[in-house]
Amino acid sequence: WFPWSDRVSCTLDLATSLPRSVLSEADTKLITWLLRANGVVNVPTVRQIKSARGPLDAISGIQRTRFMGAFGHPFWLNSMGDQIKQEFANPCVRPHMRFYPEEGSPTVEEPWHGEKWRKRLPPEFATPMIRVRNKDFYVHEPLMLHSGEVVMAIRWFTKHSDSRMWGHGWRMSRHQFGDEDGWIVHEKEEVDFCEDELQLNVLNFQDLHLAMQLPAPFNIYGACKTNHLSVVDWKYKDVNEWRTRAAGKRVLMAMIWLYCDDTSGNRSKKWNAHNSFLFTPANLSRDHTQKQYNVHFVCTSNLAPPLEMLEGVVAELEKLMKEGMFAWDCELEEEVMFFITVLGFLGDNPMQSEFACHIGLKGKKFCRCCEVQGRDRGGGEADNDADSDDEDLVALEGEAQVVAAKIVEFIQGGQERSPIESVRVLVDLFNQAKEAGTMTARAQLRTSSGVKDTFLNYFIDKLDQARKGKSGPQGQAAVDRLLRDLPQMLFSSVWRIPGLNPHLDTPTEILHVILLGIVKYFWRDAMTRLTADQKTTVIYRLQALDIDGLGPDVQRLSGVTYVQYAGSLVGRDFRVIGQVAIFVLYDMLPAPILAAWASLSKLMALAWLPVIKGIDAYLDTLTAAIEDFLVKTALWNPKWFNKPKFHILRHLPQHIRAFGPAILFATEGLESFNATIREWSIHSSRQAPSKDIGVSAARAQRLRHLMSCGSFVYR
């Protein structure tokens, strides 16, 4: 029963630490009494159970750190590095982890098939090395192939149905500059090579270059980015930093999906908001990623807003990117070094907008991905997920050309948002806030750009408050005093997440956009159109439907629930409705509405496809289905385009190309973790919920690791 002292201690620790069945202290006392009453000997007391957890946490637990946010709110973080470290040592997880993208697959079904990992991720944030014949080859280091060709390695990957590792790089050519002999990197001359072609890594090359009468490998004059010999500086003129840090160990990249959501910490209906960060490994395949077993807790707070908590999350990511962390790899049976890269940020639309420093769904520029412009929404600074009313488009129905132009722009979208431009706008907002009389100009800039950083706004509001009631030099002096006391980091930490573009890497989430968005709108609209007798008919039709084709998790439909409680349904209900509505409403609604329903059902079948055969053809089909659905919706009633989710749907194909099938970044599994956080909150002391919930999560993580036969260091 090691590391527990005996079976009773082990099973009691297990029973009192399960995340899905949280027990109070009173429940624990009852269990221990019940065991003693039935003759079980050596039953520990509640106090002994608690004290025994300390040594267990010390050998296989998760480090927790208190962090003071920039707004003055303290919160606790459970180390992401420690949790990933356990994944490497967990025999139930490590065999399924992938560290390199895959090229040439006939299907797209996993994150490593997506273009973000394969092409768009900067090399410094991907796995930097491979080991071939006991030699380590790193990116941004020259290497020599058996052909004698010298190549600057840029990234490593695998190929479908090929067990060998492959590399991608740029050719290097020898050039004489004056009396010196050196190299030029030709970024336009790309080359792929397999591990069998590798001859010398940079260390071997350095030792042998004189014997081969070649320049030293890092005697690089620069890089040629065009076909002409216009040379720019090459910044990598030494061995890769990871080679030095790892000191002979392998270096691997752990990819994660980062997620944030708010949930109530109360059992009652009274809202007690807790903002929580979770993550799930993106190195795992979909069938493993979406298991509750692989959802990991980072932090929660009922005081700190998400962007304040993000400070602590990014601080650890930056530390891991700078220093790395060692872990025992139970698959390779050796120690390795790893760092963490965020593949994408998941959440509902308001949360994704906040993290993208975007004004929100009610802004005039309501899309976080592009510059599409909607109607003037009267200030345009509300960023909740509530849907706008329909008054404006109803008033415009007589102006056919205006409505048509708006619909075309809505469907086609605008120019892709640029992080550089967003940061420039934020800097302008802050600079304007230093001057008096700029509140109106700032509001207009936020509205016209669609850029809004709630983290920065906290400090801008402080500047406005310092100036309030003062005029001229007095007000400016108060602002200058406050500026000297402000922290160094005034902008959202999202811009510091390694390898993340918050405009492109917040993928369209089909739960909130399609199920809790479009399907919900359509179903509620349908229910308001039906008479009482028609609703009764719909109930009977739903109950009589053959559900064999709806999936193994769907039970016989409760027509009463779907019809009478149309305003209280959840995602799994709308997933069924989207597939069956056309079969129960076929003779009750006008033809344009039924056409939109039929188009929506076809679209859903494509959006939830788990394995994509032929990504280009699939995306063409999906794009055509989305356009057909939007056209059918416009023919029904253009008022629907007051709702931004119809436009956000337009970005789904580009996100599938970047990350893989849409169900990879669906959030149902992460959303269900809210129930666990709520139970931990209910059974906490309520005095320090961030700390107490973090302790419960760390205890559950430790139990998960030990019960999975995970390795740990015992001293």
Give, in degrees to the nearest 5, the angle at Cα 478 between 472 and 479. Answer: 90
DSSP-assigned letter for residue 504? T
pLDDT tens, residue by residue, 536-576: 999 999 999 888 888 778 888 899 999 999 988 999 999 99
What mean pLDDT is predicted for residues 389-404? 54
The pLDDT of residue 392 is above 70: no
Torsion, Cα of 198, 200, 203, 205 (10° steps): -140
Rounded alpha-carbon distances, angstroms, from residue 287 to 36, 103, 194: 42, 21, 30
pLDDT tens, residue by residue, 281-317: 999 999 999 899 999 999 999 999 999 999 999 999 9
Could you give the count of Cα atoms lying within 13 Å of 684 in the half-sphere of its Cβ?
24
What mean pLDDT is predicted for residues 506-518? 95
Structure-token pair, residue 572: 């799994």
DSSP-assigned letter for residue 167? E
Residue pair 260/306 in contact (Cβ under 8 Å)? The answer is yes
Q: What's the farthest any 2 CA atoms get from each other in the chain?
A: 95
DSSP-assigned letter for residue 651? G
The pLDDT of residue 359 is above 70: yes
In the numeric block, the tokens 């700032």 are attached to 442
Strand partners, 300: 276
What span, in angstroms and rounded, lies between the C-alpha atoms of 381 and 141?
Answer: 48
- Helix (H) or strand (E) holding 340, with range, is strand 334-346
Structure-token pair, residue 405: 């132009």
Strand partners, 7: none
Give the pLDDT of residue 514.
96
Q: How far is CA 325 from the centre of its chain?
A: 22
What span, in angstroms and rounded, lies between the C-alpha atoms of 437 and 441?
Answer: 8
What mean pLDDT is predicted for residues 593-615? 96
What span, in angstroms and rounded, lies between the C-alpha atoms of 518 and 606?
Answer: 15
What mean pLDDT is predicted for residues 586-607? 96
Residue pair 305/71 in contact (Cβ under 8 Å)? The answer is yes
What span, in angstroms and rounded, lies between the C-alpha atoms of 153 and 187?
Answer: 11
DSSP-assigned letter for residue 143? E
| pLDDT above 90 coverage of the chain, percent | 72
The pLDDT of residue 394 is above 50: no
DSSP-assigned letter for residue 294? G
244 exposure class (CB count in 10 Å sphere: 0-12, 13-18, 19+): exposed
What span, in angstroms and rounded, lies between the C-alpha atoms of 309 and 301?
Answer: 8
Termini Cα distance of the chain: 17
The per-residue b/e assignment along 307-345, b for 16 or more CB within 10 angstroms, e otherwise, is: bbbbbbbbbbbeebbeebbbbbbbeeeeebbbbbbbbbb
Residue pair 281/97 in contact (Cβ under 8 Å)? The answer is yes
Q: What is the three-class DSSP state of 244?
A: helix
Please choose, from the candidates 182, 158, 178, 177, the residue with its C-alpha nearest in 3D space to the C-alpha of residue 168. 158
pLDDT tens, residue by residue, 659-701: 999 999 999 889 999 999 999 998 887 788 999 999 999 999 9
Strand partners, 143: 151
3-state helix, strand, coil in the chain (%, to 5): 50, 20, 35
What span, in angstroms and rounded, lies between the C-alpha atoms of 122 and 113?
Answer: 16
Q: What is the three-class DSSP state of 289?
A: helix
Q: What is the three-class DSSP state of 306?
A: helix
DSSP string, 669-707: HHHTHHHHHHHHHHTS-SSSHHHHHHHHHHHHHHHHHHH
Highest mean pLDDT: which range of 39-43, 486-490, 501-505: 501-505
What span, in angstroms and rounded, lies between the C-alpha atoms of 538 and 594?
Answer: 15
The pLDDT of residue 112 is above 50: yes
- Split at pLDDT 50, 70, 90, the class of 380 is very low
DSSP-assigned letter for residue 297? E
DSSP-assigned letter for residue 166? E
Specify the amino acid at residue 421. Answer: E
Which residues make Cβ contacts (< 8 Å) with residue 360, sequence separation at least 6?
350, 353, 354, 366, 381, 382, 383, 384, 452
What span, in angstroms and rounded, lies between the C-alpha atoms of 571 and 514?
Answer: 9
For 216, phi then psi, to 5°, come to -60, 140
Which residues make Cβ contacts (< 8 Å) with residue 32, sequence separation at least 6?
12, 43, 44, 45, 46, 49
175 exposure class (CB count in 10 Å sphere: 0-12, 13-18, 19+): middle
In the numeric block, the tokens 């620069």 are attached to 222
The pLDDT of residue 395 is above 50: no
The pLDDT of residue 637 is above 80: yes
The pLDDT of residue 228 is above 70: no
Parallel, antiparallel, or unpaired for β 135-138 and 231-232?
unpaired
What mean pLDDT is predicted for residues 616-638? 95
Is the four-CA dihedral 121, 127, 131, 136 of positive or negative sign?
A: positive
Specify the amino acid at residue 712. Answer: F
Higher pLDDT, 50 or 356: 356
Question: Which ranges constitute the DSSP H helices of 75-131?
Answer: 80-88, 115
- Split at pLDDT 50, 70, 90, the class of 17 is confident
Question: Which ranges constitute the DSSP H helices of 565-672?
Answer: 571-584, 591-607, 615-636, 645-648, 652-659, 668-671
Strand partners, 182: 175
Give the pLDDT of residue 660.
96
Cβ count within 10 A of residue 484: 6
The pLDDT of residue 75 is above 90: yes
Residue pair 321/339 in contact (Cβ under 8 Å)? The answer is yes
Strand partners, 598: none
What span, in angstroms and rounded, lies between the C-alpha atoms of 302 and 188?
Answer: 52
Structure-token pair, residue 598: 């039929």
Tell me the pLDDT of the chain averaged across its residues. 91
Instruction: Pick the range with the lowest mean pLDDT from 53-57, 313-317, 443-447, 597-601.
Output: 53-57
Strand partners, 132: 135
The pLDDT of residue 391 is above 80: no
- Helix (H) or strand (E) holding 88, with range, is helix 80-88
Cβ count within 10 A of residue 230: 10
Give the pLDDT of residue 399.
62
Helix axes 46-60, 25-37, angle to 10 degrees: 110
The pLDDT of residue 92 is above 90: yes
